[in-house]
Structure 1
């Protein structure tokens, strides 16, 4: 019994040894964070989503003209406006319809899910098995149009509503009429339907794949219900089919892929020539791109020496990239400009045109009539119908967007230009004093050829524009409609989010916040001033006590950098305060965010809780040069510390440095080089970059060397090419010089920076009898995602700084290290 009692006591101490902080816990519990805002089609109603410390999501429904009228809902999973005044919700298994004018509500029970097809004005209500999985189709006036039983699911396919019906032994596909009142069966078989897609061919029809005994069988179902099977022995074995946009009007463009089983033998054999090491975890995934001509019953396999096939308009042209077989690993290009050989291939003439090495910057208009790319220090515009290529005189940094009228809109610093695609004549349509101008309501769609080789165009007749000043975070928001410029949000240092317009472009809604200003929802009608609809955390009066100072210093190449010094909530100009410095690359763009007091800190940092606990918080910018990220960070931190020392209220004897991931690595390194800090906290940070560069990253299923040679560690060379730079930037090689206490933390399931990086640094610090404690959070990964662990760590962070910056003692879990207490 005595041994059991001792075990319980020790477990209790380990679990509850952090210092309770009831005031901070109450503060966090009373605060909510906005998740999203939406507006009704006419802008008369606002939907406001918020989440609290317990991760409970609430929906507030508010009128914008009479914002004192509000409805609050919880557990809402889906929401749609049937019309300007009618809102439908899914709340658990309940369907709710709310007439927002009268605020009358009605309900339907036993709901599986709901959906609303806005273009067709069709509301879908799918019941559970208690009502035989019935689907009801209503119009936007909530008039029932059709009931269908035994529905598995449905999908919207290029404007058509397709119902998957399971009726006895038959698996049917039903195409619903545009008004929702009827349907026709377009497919019926005993096999389970795997996928259906509308064919992108001149002959309208559908591509239907069904699960058969030996993989998938695929059919073309014409509009007259004629059926053609994809019957080609060379591609008969595949387990996945993806139908893509085709530029060939007679061909279905598809990718067929397989997944080979993993080798379950005693030994797993890895080959050095294998470019994709993820194959050893998930099995090989061979794939083939094909053009299928159903009417001709012909299949064309596309050249496997190319990848990223992308259909461009209706030109028979397919963009494709030449495979680079020189790469050791497929992940090597993640952090560098993708200088690949880009080609255009014509599926009819079989002609191939080399477009050059595009530097991974390419834009298409919505119809695929133009390809705009930056190549050889020039913008070039290729017209796909005529294959004429023209040089466009615009700066390299300009950002293009194709307009509804067929012109090109160019954003370049504080200017917006419109350019004719025929004669390339351009005119300036907006000019403001700003560093950046951006179009907010442009549409973007990536392609198989790469994330930055994308469609970028306008769908709206008007433009929503933001202009930004980099140095002081000032922004202005405009609407540009038929040459007229309307100021929506005047120049402000507040952070503006969720800006949106009603369908008619007359009403606008957005949120604005700042570090000492809780988020507020604003609305504006064109002819009137903006006004408040809703104030989140109106009771948070403590936030108004927080102020900040800007510090200015030089970066690694003598650039002008800034840091934000947030002053404690109890700031007194006659006192001195300890400071916690949070390090992670460029941070000023985030310093206008509302400082949320929460224990849900995935990266292990919360400025507000530190400020409420009597600390100042410093968030500096870091930039980099060829010395590597660690030495560059040390240079910037030394410069900002020089500026910090000029602030009279700062206690320079009690400064702490902390960071996570790359910031954790830089914290580890600076701890070996500096004597300016009284304590450190490092989370999920690298400690031995020579080992790590050649270790295996289980998050990306690849070696890690490319993150050092091209990525965030900024070594810019392999170990063989510059051993000295790796030595100079390696924390482990200087660990004996650490002279302040270090708290290390990591997750035991971290696949990005292996937990052994933390354990290695802990072991080396322990070897040299340094003050160190390491926290290994079971089941957590690169960030802390579970609330118990988040709260545990946050309390320990505050304990650590209280102990080493403010001289507080009798903190059991730290005393165990300092006093050797068991």
Structure 2
């Protein structure tokens, strides 16, 4: 019996070993399906990419986050002046300047405090999270369960103010720090005193606390919501701890609450909503009258807007014929948009200018004023006292306190910024004007020889009134100004100090990012880079020359040898367009080079970015790896007219190629075209209409816009016709209105005309452009016996996000072009198609 058992075990082990061996062989073959490129892999491995920078309050230090090819994030802490001492950290999740010279970090579950002058460090273990309330100068350290979830509050000198145990979380609400204390059967809300030394219980109950918000009524107090058997219960807790319950049978049960800014000083403005369960029956019934199809996935989410007057124990339900209620200042005025009941779908028209009726409603008097059509452009100052609207190609200023409405006499293309001093700054071409909001008198405060200027440290806050209806103001004493020169991407950067112009960065073609100024307006940092210049962090004291603080990728000498040439050609309406032609490192003008085109729309504003050699290519393109592999790379601009996006792209690319053909170093027989998403659609279309390319790569791309227009978009949970008609595809008309235009711009209807090999790729979880768009085009090309390979990346979406898939695709991209542009053979995964090709 023992012998039989041993025999059986031997057979089992043999079978397992055989299966493992087959798996290893198969896995090895998959890995070796692409050509290894050790030089490119080494180049990528040594490269880091900057993420964000942060300047210390006094400008003496700068924090620089970077990531490498393995997506490991590091922090470099550096002085901004000599000797530029540096500290390196990894795994940093939070950082705060406790004072000018003291930095605190959260590194995993460890709190670290660094004295930057002495570079001495101390640390505390078993940390959940930390926070620093700058205005109150309070440091919060929250411990894990090993210390009973204790919260410690320190001042900015790291002196302990108080300890509180059993803390589940905290919330900063309109200047108040509220602590959620969980004592088991008792759930408490504690308000911390302004000095952090004491606390006051403002709420206590057995119910779980859902949310707390500070009331902006004249009576102050808090809005507290707790979980109940049938949803939420909400209470107003006044400053003297008097409690009033929101009790109105007409509003029904709700499971979510949002406290919003109210313009009525006596009312709390709430949106109450609930989520009904999705229909999980054997059949899901979809109705043509249902305007929000996402309800069939998430369940219905009915909501109501109410004004709650706790002192009067009164609730007013706001008119549901309007939406986007937005409180304006303290005027009792609410901006609201009349609901368009003619819409078929809620998302219809989301990409267009909103010409719907906008009203200004007074919650106290009930007066309602229909505003002039604003073209979906409306800006509010910080307090909500003024509304700037774009009315009939003119700017109009409404004072919500007096309800006076006047044209301001500024050009239609001028851009406004409400300033911290209560005026309006206007940028118009190369000029900056300041306008008084009372008498509308204006004066020019800055003039430069530039195509445009912009204020770059503006605060932008969205509202529910519309996409371009938002708060737009300066909250800084020192406006930072960028002056741009469009044709060659030159820019100059300034600061305004008490109305005087000061140059921070002289005119440069470099790409400038993360420009920041210290609290006193004397110290500046920024990052500058270019296509052939690795990023460098620069610093400057107002009265001195700029200096390099930290150079990223100093070992990347090859970047310096890459050059760029601009090509000029005409667009579809005879407009002037440009293309950037990148020439490989050590370019030899005596040689001929294959060229790869990457297309989308207008792209020149991105061509001054450092060309990072990486395999982390979400959109399936990396210019630097192509250049290192001996290709020219052309990045052209495309514009559009009413004949459709496909035909417009074809015309622009043909014009760009005509200009490219004038270069002797360009091999007309060895040119490839590639694009992703909308650029992939353009690639598909051009492939069906051109004989000028030797190969194509198209990723996550539409191929049948007639089907797509009426297909369901699982990303937006709506039909896609709005995107085809009025969005990026620019068809303008519906299929029913102009079928010929759709036929003419539809790639799949011309699939039989493709004459060059196509590599298609997509993610199997793409919810934006369904993978079937790729599979359908693949099937059509296959039917007509075209050379085509399709890559379906499991679990990937509209872009490739996981590194193994990113690297797999990038190697295949390089293989594809090497095979068809450089005539290299013996690439197994391509040979498998070519040897069996028709």
For Structure 1 versus Structure 2, the TM-score category normalised by the shorter chain is over 0.9
Q: What are the superposed Cα offsets for residues 92-141 of structure 1, whole Å, 9 maximum, x if unpaired?
A: 00000000000000000000000000000000000000000000000000
**Distance in 1 between the 2:24 and 2:749 partners?**
41
Q: Is 1:55 equivalent to 2:55 in the alignment? A: no
Q: For the Cα contact (< 8 Å) 1:14–1:813, is it kept in 2?
A: no
* SS in structure 2 of the partner of residue 735 of structure 1: helix
Q: For 1:430-445, what aligned pairs fall within 5 Å after superposition?
A: 430-445=446-461
> Closer, same or farther in 2 for the Cα pair 1:85/1:303, shift >3 Å?
same
Match of 2:462 among 442, 446, 454: 446
Q: Is 1:531 equivalent to 2:529 in the alignment? A: no
**Distance in 1 between the 2:452 and 2:258 partners?**
39
Match of 2:650 among 614, 634, 657: 634
Q: For 1:241-390, what aligned pairs fall within 5 Å after superposition?
A: 241-390=257-406
Deviates more, 1:504-513 or 1:417-426: 417-426
**Distance in 2 between the 1:288 and 1:606 partners?**
49
**Distance in 2 between the 1:66 and 1:50 partners?**
22
**Distance in 1 between the 2:274 and 2:599 partners?**
45
> 2:699 corresponds to which residue?
683
* SS in structure 2 of the partner of residue 333 of structure 1: coil
**Distance in 1 between the 2:593 and 2:246 partners?**
74
Q: What are the superposed Cα offsets for residues 235-293 of structure 1, whole Å, 9 maximum, x if unpaired?
A: 23000000000000000000000111111211111111111111111111100000000
Q: For the Cα contact (< 8 Å) 1:673–1:738, is it kept in 2?
A: yes
Q: What are the superposed Cα offsets for residues 24-57 of structure 1, whole Å, 9 maximum, x if unpaired?
A: 0000000000000101100000101000000000
> Closer, same or farther in 2 for the Cα pair 1:360/1:106, shift >3 Å?
same
Deviates more, 1:322-331 or 1:401-410: 401-410
> 2:95 corresponds to which residue?
79
> 2:513 corresponds to which residue?
497
Q: What are the superposed Cα offsets for residues 276-318 of structure 1, whole Å, 9 maximum, x if unpaired?
A: 1111111111000000000000000000000000000000000
Deviates more, 1:404-413 or 1:718-727: 404-413
Q: For the Cα contact (< 8 Å) 1:735–1:765, is it kept in 2?
A: yes
Q: For 1:127-276, what aligned pairs fall within 5 Å after superposition?
A: 127-276=143-292
* SS in structure 2 of the partner of residue 761 of structure 1: helix
**Distance in 2 between the 1:5 and 1:479 partners?**
67
1:11 deviation in Å?
4.7
> 2:601 corresponds to which residue?
585
**Distance in 2 between the 1:529 and 1:149 partners?**
52
Deviates more, 1:28-37 or 1:477-486: 477-486
> 1:19 corresponds to which residue?
35
**Distance in 1 between the 2:114 and 2:726 partners?**
54
**Distance in 1 between the 2:296 and 2:677 partners?**
27
1:3 deviation in Å?
9.0
Q: For the Cα contact (< 8 Å) 1:67–1:534, is it kept in 2?
A: no
Q: For 1:654-733, what aligned pairs fall within 5 Å after superposition?
A: 654-733=670-749
**Distance in 2 between the 1:577 and 1:139 partners?**
64
**Distance in 2 between the 1:58 and 1:9 partners?**
37
Q: What are the superposed Cα offsets for residues 170-220 of structure 1, whole Å, 9 maximum, x if unpaired?
A: 000000000100000000000000000000100010000000111100000
Q: What are the superposed Cα offsets for residues 339-384 of structure 1, whole Å, 9 maximum, x if unpaired?
A: 1100011011011011132211001111111111012222111111
Q: What are the superposed Cα offsets for residues 541-597 of structure 1, whole Å, 9 maximum, x if unpaired?
A: 010110011000000000000000000113111100000000010110000000000
> 1:735 corresponds to which residue?
751
Q: Is 1:614 equivalent to 2:630 in the alignment? A: yes
Q: Is 1:466 equivalent to 2:482 in the alignment? A: yes
* SS in structure 1 of the partner of residue 662 of structure 2: coil
> 2:106 corresponds to which residue?
90
Q: For the Cα contact (< 8 Å) 1:218–1:230, is it kept in 2?
A: yes
> 2:667 corresponds to which residue?
651
**Distance in 2 between the 1:763 and 1:460 partners?**
58
* SS in structure 2 of the partner of residue 476 of structure 1: strand
Q: What are the superposed Cα offsets for residues 781-821 of structure 1, whole Å, 9 maximum, x if unpaired?
A: 10000000000000000000000000101000000001139
Deviates more, 1:349-358 or 1:580-589: 349-358
- What's the TM-score once normalised by structure 1's chain length? 0.99
Q: Is 1:599 equivalent to 2:608 in the alignment? A: no
Q: Is 1:764 equivalent to 2:780 in the alignment? A: yes
1:6 deviation in Å?
6.3
Q: For the Cα contact (< 8 Å) 1:340–1:359, is it kept in 2?
A: no
- Unpaired segments ≥5 residues, structure 1: none
Q: List structure 1 segments (4+ residues) > 3 angstroms apart after TM superposition.
A: 1-12
**Distance in 2 between the 1:512 and 1:555 partners?**
31
Q: What are the superposed Cα offsets for residues 438-471 of structure 1, whole Å, 9 maximum, x if unpaired?
A: 0011111111112311111121222110010111
> 2:11 corresponds to which residue?
none
Q: For the Cα contact (< 8 Å) 1:570–1:614, is it kept in 2?
A: no
**Distance in 2 between the 1:587 and 1:203 partners?**
53
Deviates more, 1:101-110 or 1:414-423: 414-423
Q: For 1:500-519, what aligned pairs fall within 5 Å after superposition?
A: 500-519=516-535
Q: What are the superposed Cα offsets for residues 631-659 of structure 1, whole Å, 9 maximum, x if unpaired?
A: 00000000000011111111111000000
**Distance in 2 between the 1:784 and 1:603 partners?**
7
Q: What are the superposed Cα offsets for residues 657-715 of structure 1, whole Å, 9 maximum, x if unpaired?
A: 00000010000010010000000000011111111111111111010111111001111
Q: For the Cα contact (< 8 Å) 1:203–1:222, is it kept in 2?
A: yes
1:12 deviation in Å?
3.3
**Distance in 1 between the 2:572 and 2:659 partners?**
15
1:13 deviation in Å?
2.1
1:67 deviation in Å?
4.6
Match of 1:407 among 402, 405, 423: 423
1:435 deviation in Å?
1.4
**Distance in 1 between the 2:97 and 2:773 partners?**
51
* SS in structure 2 of the partner of residue 794 of structure 1: helix
Q: For the Cα contact (< 8 Å) 1:687–1:757, is it kept in 2?
A: yes
**Distance in 2 between the 1:636 and 1:405 partners?**
47
Q: For the Cα contact (< 8 Å) 1:288–1:301, is it kept in 2?
A: yes
1:779 deviation in Å?
0.3
> 1:116 corresponds to which residue?
132
**Distance in 1 between the 2:828 and 2:596 partners?**
22
> 2:7 corresponds to which residue?
none
Match of 1:70 among 65, 82, 86: 86
Q: For the Cα contact (< 8 Å) 1:252–1:292, is it kept in 2?
A: yes
- Unpaired segments ≥5 residues, structure 2: 1-14
* SS in structure 2 of the partner of residue 815 of structure 1: helix
> 2:10 corresponds to which residue?
none
* SS in structure 2 of the partner of residue 330 of structure 1: coil
Deviates more, 1:557-566 or 1:569-578: 569-578
**Distance in 1 between the 2:429 and 2:321 partners?**
40
1:324 deviation in Å?
0.3
**Distance in 2 between the 1:293 and 1:567 partners?**
68
* SS in structure 1 of the partner of residue 554 of structure 2: coil
> 1:521 corresponds to which residue?
537
Q: Is 1:484 equivalent to 2:500 in the alignment? A: yes
